[in-house]
Amino acid sequence: MCALCGILGGSGEWSDSASAPAVFASRAEKQTRLRERQERTRLLNAVLKYYGVSVKDWAGNTYLLTGRTGRTAMVNAVGEIWSAVDRIGGRRCDPLDKDYLGALRGRSG
């Protein structure tokens, strides 16, 4: 999904089940926007660790990215994270890079 859907859809993240409960009606557990955002941030940190970038939630509507050198960026949506990682991580964020995929496999066992 491109970032444009986030812009057109308003302030909610396009993947939030809390913002579209009918779409995720089969889910057994109660989801809140905050719980989903915390889970999304945890997953982003696992993915971006390879690039030396960490992500924190900022006030529930912005992500704060920090690189190894202390460079930071603030973004409003997940779709904006990847170009920010390129800037502050010091190298291009390529999800198909063989070394990157190998590192992800190593983490998952």
DSSP state of 91: S
**Is 10 inside any structural domain?**
no
**Is 6 inside any structural domain?**
no
The whole-angstrom separation of Cα 45 and Cα 56 is 8
Where would I find the beta strands (DSSP E) of the chain? Answer: 53-58, 62-67, 72-75
The total number of structural domains in the chain stands at 1
pLDDT at position 94: 87
Give the confidence band of 85 by pLDDT, cuts at 50, 70, 90.
very high
The model's pTM is: 0.71
**Is 66 inside any structural domain?**
yes
**Is 42 inside any structural domain?**
yes
Give the confidence band of 9 by pLDDT, cuts at 50, 70, 90.
very low
**Is 2 inside any structural domain?**
no
Cα dist from 99 to 30, 61, 71, whole Å:
37, 32, 24
The neighbour count for residue 30, using CB atoms within 10 Å, is 8
Which amino acid makes up residue 96?
Answer: L
**Is 4 inside any structural domain?**
no
**Is 7 inside any structural domain?**
no
**Is 8 inside any structural domain?**
no
Least reliable range by pLDDT among 10-14, 36-40, 82-86 = 10-14
- Greatest C-alpha distance within the chain: 43
Residue 27 has pLDDT above 70, yes or no: no
Question: 4 or 45: which carries more pLDDT confidence?
Answer: 45
SS3 75: strand
Give the confidence band of 109 by pLDDT, cuts at 50, 70, 90.
very low
Range of the domain at 56: 15-108
Q: What is the mean pLDDT of the segment spanning 63-89?
A: 93
